[in-house]
Structure 1
Amino acid sequence: MDEPIELDTRLISRTKTGSVINATTNPNVANVSNSEQQSNVVELPPVDRGFKAWSFCASACALETFIWGWNNTYGIFQEFYSTNPPFQNSSLISISAIGTASLAIQYIEIIAVIAVCQRYPEKVKPAMWLSLFVCVAALTVSSFANQVWQLIILQGVIFGLAAGVLYAPIIMWLSEWFVQRRGLAGGIIFGGSGVGGFAFPLAIGACLDKIGFSWTMRVWAIILGVCCSLALFGSNPRLPVRKPGIDRPRSSWPSGMTNFIKNPLLLCMLATNAVQALGFFPVSVFISTYTSALTTSTISPTIVLALFNASSVVCYIFFGRICDSYPYAAVILFSGLGSALGAFLLWGFATHLGLIFAFALVFGGLSGGFPGVWPAAATEIAGPVHEHVSLAFGAFGVVKGIAAIVGPIIAAALHDKSKTASYERYGSHGYRKVEIFVGVMAIATAFCAIGVAFMSKSKRVQ
């Protein structure tokens, strides 16, 4: 182990990887007051390895599982609300607004939450505990709801806002704990959403059948509270946090924002994320409904949704690991072309369960695992400005959140309801235009990969 280095009154720490952190340039490490000058050297835990780094990864994955895994489960609730009292007489648009509101809010608010967390680091952990309490309370109170507008407010807006605050610091701390293995760690963390998306539809579907909506929500609220509380104990920043004072002024808002916003690579990645998400979310919303049209089985839609979410876990980790060693633009190209083939061929000709299962695995993996490229892309966009890594994640989340709203709306408009009972050779049950739209968005993603590769090469040359 390297020995800590002390120079004047600056706080410097050499980690096991040999990196040096200086408090005069990194506000997160905090300046040292006169009373602390005799203990002004802090040795930080190593990045990319060690118990604390991987315990953070495991804890963050647990939070991802219960927060985003819940979002990936909403298709089960949507089908239940549409067919069971007291919500079955509500419009499909209002019912779908519950899950859409929660998902979109969590994505869109990430960048604002991260910016505030960077400004007030000492408030982050208390805010996470408070947000968890609000999440549990919102789900508990929603168990007494008897109208859809109440669910929109409780499960959609309130839960979405609180869950976003609970999760956003994970994105910020990921870049502190992992550098060379950031893609792998990010893939493991993001894969939690697929794990939850696989397990929760099966468990929650069974609970809805056996104990009903009200008790399902209460039991789930307790499970969420207990498991996320345990995960919060392991979710901590790597850099020490100290309260600001007279001799330790609060850090400024992230610098260089003008150059960050105008970064051509950022703009190209935002466009790529937008078209990719526009094609992904219609499938995540309608795949259960499409499966229901193919069979009278009540379990098949749940299994398809579970497979769709589970397949993303493998690609999250695989894409993240590949991006640690190879250009992420190649992964984007592979994801786009593979998703397009899945949409045009497997879903287009899916007139029986075998093909829709295959489509769920292929498209769910290649398209669902797409955010596995985010750590590598954000790192290159940020360059030497550490704070911009998290902001790039937040910017990706904003466009994905908007697409989570727009994509399903477009798909709903393209769906031909007059053919819901037909079995055409291609695009049955009125989904032909939806399938074509999803496939075109996947092809557009592949074309965007070429632009990303060009911008990335230009940035490296500079």
Structure 2
Amino acid sequence: MDTPQDLELRHRTSTQDQQQGVHEGMAVGRSLLPTDRGASAWLVLLGAFVLEGLMWGFVYSYGIFQEFYSRSPEFHSSLARLPLVGTISSGLMFLSSPVLLPLLRQWPNRRKQCIAFGGLLTCVALISASFAGAVTDLIITQGVLFGLGGSMVYYPTFLFLDEWFVRRKALAYGVCWGASGFSGLVFPYIISWLLETYGFRTTLRVWSIVNLVFIAVALLVLKPRLPAALNVRRNRPRLSFTLKPLFLAFCLANIVYGLGAYLPGLYLPSYARSIGFSENVATTSVSLLNVGTLLGSVAGGILNDRWSPKGIIIASALASMNGAALLWGFSASPTVILLFGLTHGFCTGCTTACWPGVIGEIVERDTTLTAEPSLIFALFVAGRGIGNVASGPLSQSLLHLPILSRALSYGYGSKYGSMILFSASTMGGGGLGAVFDKMGLI
């Protein structure tokens, strides 16, 4: 009869996506610490929490930088390209998932080195950006280099969590994802104060030191639970499932959703200042959007356990569409702008939290038996990245269109009117995959 130790070793060797079995044993001459409990597991979660908040909190605060850069003489000649800095950095962090995750599964002993190198790259990116004299310099440094470095810091942490949390994996992921909501609330105020007090050059240099210190601390507590030999993925992923209508519908809808999901966080601060609202309102709009994302992620996870993820996605898409079209389009007061930021963040978080349910249905209905949850997740993340990157140049083109109506005030009576309608349309389009499936068309 197999011992619990034998069961875990056999399980870990045969598959990476299904993590069940027992949680203590001996492997390759060393003792395995228990999963889901103990100081080591919680310290790994703490390290993942720190790195999640550090990377995504900074990326999601770019709207504050953009509003400040637009007022800086160094960048006046290329204001139209400023959004590319934010969309490229966030897009690369999404797009890197299908590349980094398979590589880190194949060479698990390189995960900490990947985090260390990525951390150094983010510091180099920020210091280099502090010497920028043109928007192109920012695109290369704060955009491309930071996005690549942030990816290398971010993705290894989830592979560490996979080893240490099995039965409580949902809790671990929820806590980790909550870090971006926490930092997204706090960082905009800190960054705004630094920018207004010391300027962008000092702010970026200070933030590079903050990055270096916190990444170094996280590396001290992040450690593998299993020997590297048990974590190597031996089989190449098969992609036959990507040609199935169910996957294609949700993947394309996800890309469409990504085209508009990042725009409010990018433009709300500039929009608020353009219609005469204070710097505090501009900063708070981004903070509330990030808080809404955190709340929506929690709510979406809870609802996903009780109801069909397709219904939740449809409801969130409709709420996002109406929020952009009505609240942002007719934002006559700071209260309405702040309410829109919170609402948009909540719906975006709720939609993303439904991915596990959608992924489960894709795997269950896949007749090719090639669908792997981790690979589908990576492709969904990459799809969101495609939308984010494309939204930068698209939004700038929309801003140069004629004003929709001189008779309307606020959103639709400003240069942002066409972009607001575009954002609303893409939010609605993000629910089409779920609609088609509900109607039995796929």
Fold-level similarity (TM above 0.5): yes
**1:147-188: CA deviation from partner (whole Å, max 9, x where unpaired):** 332222222112211211111223444444555654444333
Percent of residue pairs identical: 29
The answer to whether structure 1 residue 45 and structure 2 residue 34 are counterparts is yes
CA distance in structure 2 between the partners assigned to 1:38 and 1:286 by the alignment: 52
Of 400, 424, 427 in structure 2, the residue corresponding to residue 439 of structure 1 is 424
SS state at 1:349 partner: coil
The answer to whether structure 1 residue 365 and structure 2 residue 363 are counterparts is no
State the 1:407 CA deviation: 2.5
| Contact 2:247 2:362 (C-alpha < 8 Å) held by counterparts | yes
Given the two structures, how large is their TM-score scaled by the length of structure 1?
Answer: 0.82
CA distance in structure 2 between the partners assigned to 1:443 and 1:28 by the alignment: 32
**Root-mean-square deviation (CA), in Å?**
3.4
Q: Bigger CA drift: 265-274 or 174-183?
A: 174-183
Of 373, 384, 391 in structure 2, the residue corresponding to residue 400 of structure 1 is 384
**1:70-125: CA deviation from partner (whole Å, max 9, x where unpaired):** 1111111112222124x232312332222222122111111101111111112122
State the 1:223 CA deviation: 0.9
| Distance of aligned partners of 1:404 and 1:55 in 2 relative to their CA distance in 1, 3 Å threshold | same
State the 1:263 CA deviation: 4.5
Q: 1:80 maps to which residue?
A: 68
| Distance of aligned partners of 1:296 and 1:362 in 2 relative to their CA distance in 1, 3 Å threshold | closer
| Contact 2:35 2:165 (C-alpha < 8 Å) held by counterparts | no
Of 249, 252, 263 in structure 1, the residue corresponding to residue 234 of structure 2 is 252
| Distance of aligned partners of 1:379 and 1:143 in 2 relative to their CA distance in 1, 3 Å threshold | same
| Contact 1:294 1:351 (C-alpha < 8 Å) held by counterparts | no
State the 1:40 CA deviation: 5.4
SS state at 1:221 partner: helix
Q: 1:354 maps to which residue?
A: 335
CA distance in structure 2 between the partners assigned to 1:58 and 1:52 by the alignment: 10
Note the residue ranges of structure 2 that are not aligned, 5 or more in a row.
19-25
CA distance in structure 2 between the partners assigned to 1:452 and 1:52 by the alignment: 43
Q: 1:318 maps to which residue?
A: 299
Q: 2:14 maps to which residue?
A: 25
Q: 1:12 is matched by which residue type in structure 2?
A: D
SS state at 1:83 partner: coil
| Distance of aligned partners of 1:73 and 1:428 in 2 relative to their CA distance in 1, 3 Å threshold | same
| Distance of aligned partners of 1:146 and 1:91 in 2 relative to their CA distance in 1, 3 Å threshold | closer
Of 58, 72, 89 in structure 2, the residue corresponding to residue 70 of structure 1 is 58
SS state at 2:228 partner: coil
| Distance of aligned partners of 1:285 and 1:271 in 2 relative to their CA distance in 1, 3 Å threshold | same
| Distance of aligned partners of 1:408 and 1:282 in 2 relative to their CA distance in 1, 3 Å threshold | farther
State the 1:350 CA deviation: 1.1
| Distance of aligned partners of 1:228 and 1:211 in 2 relative to their CA distance in 1, 3 Å threshold | same
| Distance of aligned partners of 1:349 and 1:62 in 2 relative to their CA distance in 1, 3 Å threshold | same
SS state at 2:354 partner: helix
Q: 1:91 maps to which residue?
A: 78
Q: 2:3 maps to which residue?
A: 5
Q: Bigger CA drift: 129-138 or 416-425?
A: 416-425
Of 185, 188, 200 in structure 2, the residue corresponding to residue 213 of structure 1 is 200
Of 392, 395, 408 in structure 2, the residue corresponding to residue 411 of structure 1 is 395
CA distance in structure 2 between the partners assigned to 1:347 and 1:416 by the alignment: 19
| Distance of aligned partners of 1:380 and 1:120 in 2 relative to their CA distance in 1, 3 Å threshold | farther
State the 1:414 CA deviation: 2.8
| Contact 1:316 1:371 (C-alpha < 8 Å) held by counterparts | yes
CA distance in structure 1 between the partners assigned to 2:404 and 2:271 by the alignment: 9
Q: 1:295 is matched by which residue type in structure 2?
A: G
Note the residue ranges of structure 1 that are not aligned, 5 or more in a row.
15-19, 30-36, 245-249
Q: Bigger CA drift: 224-233 or 368-377?
A: 368-377
| Distance of aligned partners of 1:406 and 1:219 in 2 relative to their CA distance in 1, 3 Å threshold | same
| Contact 1:13 1:43 (C-alpha < 8 Å) held by counterparts | no
State the 1:251 CA deviation: 4.3
Q: 1:78 is matched by which residue type in structure 2?
A: Q
SS state at 1:430 partner: coil
| Contact 1:57 1:189 (C-alpha < 8 Å) held by counterparts | yes
**1:238-264: CA deviation from partner (whole Å, max 9, x where unpaired):** 4432399xxxxx643434x13343354
> What does 1:140-219 correspond to in 2, within 5 Å?
140-178=127-165, 181-219=168-206
Given the two structures, how large is their TM-score scaled by the length of structure 2?
Answer: 0.85
| Distance of aligned partners of 1:269 and 1:164 in 2 relative to their CA distance in 1, 3 Å threshold | same
